[in-house]
């Protein structure tokens, strides 16, 4: 780890510990066949300094999915203590790469498990095509990702790795729903197939509607833009802004052509995060 001020190091250790807890403890985004069973971990079971050193030794990436995989690998190896046989295993047909297996491991029951991992953030956009659940990058969507993970990726080991006895998908994430005028999220009555009733929820708002959202009165609300790859647990430390400052920052961001921003919303009178939301350009989800 590079030399940092002790407080910066402490904040990083706190963040990676919280992100690992979120990775393990957060509810599955999906339900149905081949979904990884729930697991839990206590913060006290994690050595954050060891975890930070482990992450430093991994390939550096700002991609949230890569970071999530690294946290899963640490959980398997250093918390559960199972034997990880392969991670990121490339499958080839001659000179052609035909797929990759996220994890092969021998579990506590001595069975060989093929696990595929995914962490995803989708926004419910009523009337959007081809899906009403696109990602911040609207080329991605919930239905496509679920089909890819369970129908394609988990099938890559079948017939190629005969020792596999079970296949599971570990899919975590958040669905963000439109924010209503009173700052509440508005959900549809019907959920897509395989979207878990217990999934994590957030809100989203267009740039032009940001100041129109009627944040509950009587409290001072603070907003912090959440940087990749730490989109998982609430930020341990972040530069908080007033609503006006957030609006100015978002306008500059979108003027530069950047995409939607994840924002942590807190009340000045209480420490925990009150809401996670996306602020999107007015043109979203059009590309």
Mean pLDDT of 211-234: 81
Q: Rounded to an integer, what distance in angstroms lies between the CA atom of residue 148 and that of residue 195?
A: 15
* pLDDT 10s digits, 153-207: 999 999 889 999 999 999 999 999 998 767 778 899 899 999 999 999 999 999 9
* pLDDT 10s digits, 54-82: 998 887 778 999 999 999 999 999 999 99
Write down the residue that tokens 């696990």 correspond to: 115
Going from the C-alpha of 55 to that of each of 77, 100, 115, 156, the distances in angstroms are 13, 21, 20, 27
Write down the residue that tokens 């990884």 correspond to: 36
Q: How many CB atoms are closer than 10 A to CB 84?
A: 15
Q: Rounded to an integer, what distance in angstroms lies between the CA atom of residue 19 and that of residue 41?
A: 12
* pLDDT 10s digits, 19-34: 999 999 999 999 999 9
Three-state secondary structure of 33-58? CCECCCCCCCHHHCCHHHHHHHHHCC
């Amino acid at each position: 780890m590079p030399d940092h001020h002790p407080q910066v190091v402490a904040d990083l250790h706190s963040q990676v510990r919280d992100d690992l807890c979120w990775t393990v403890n957060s509810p599955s985004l999906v339900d149905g066949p081949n979904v990884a069973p729930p697991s839990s971990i206590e913060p006290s079971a994690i050595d954050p300094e060891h975890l930070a050193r482990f992450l430093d030794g991994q390939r550096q990436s700002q991609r949230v999915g890569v970071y999530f995989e690294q946290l899963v690998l640490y959980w398997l190896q250093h918390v559960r203590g199972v034997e990880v046989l392969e991670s990121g295993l490339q499958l080839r047909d001659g000179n052609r790469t035909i797929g990759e297996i996220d994890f092969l491991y021998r579990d506590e029951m001595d069975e060989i498990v093929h696990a595929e991992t995914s962490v995803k953030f989708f926004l419910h956009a009523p009337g959007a095509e081809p899906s009403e659940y696109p990602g911040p990058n609207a080329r991605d969507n919930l239905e496509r990702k679920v089909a890819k993970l369970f129908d394609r990726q988990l099938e890559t080991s079948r017939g190629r790795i005969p020792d596999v006895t079970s296949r599971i998908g570990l899919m975590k994430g958040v669905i963000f729903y439109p924010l209503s005028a009173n700052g509440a999220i508005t959900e549809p009555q019907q959920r897509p197939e395989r979207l878990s009733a217990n999934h994590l929820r957030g809100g989203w708002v267009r740039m032009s509607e940001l100041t129109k959202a009627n944040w509950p009165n009587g409290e001072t609300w603070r907003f912090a833009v959440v940087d990749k790859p730490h989109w998982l647990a609430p930020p341990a430390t972040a530069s908080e802004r007033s609503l006006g400052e957030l609006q100015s920052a978002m306008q500059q961001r979108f003027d530069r052509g950047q995409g939607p921003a994840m924002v942590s919303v807190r009340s000045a009178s209480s420490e925990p995060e009150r809401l996670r939301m996306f602020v999107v350009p007015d043109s979203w989800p059009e590309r």
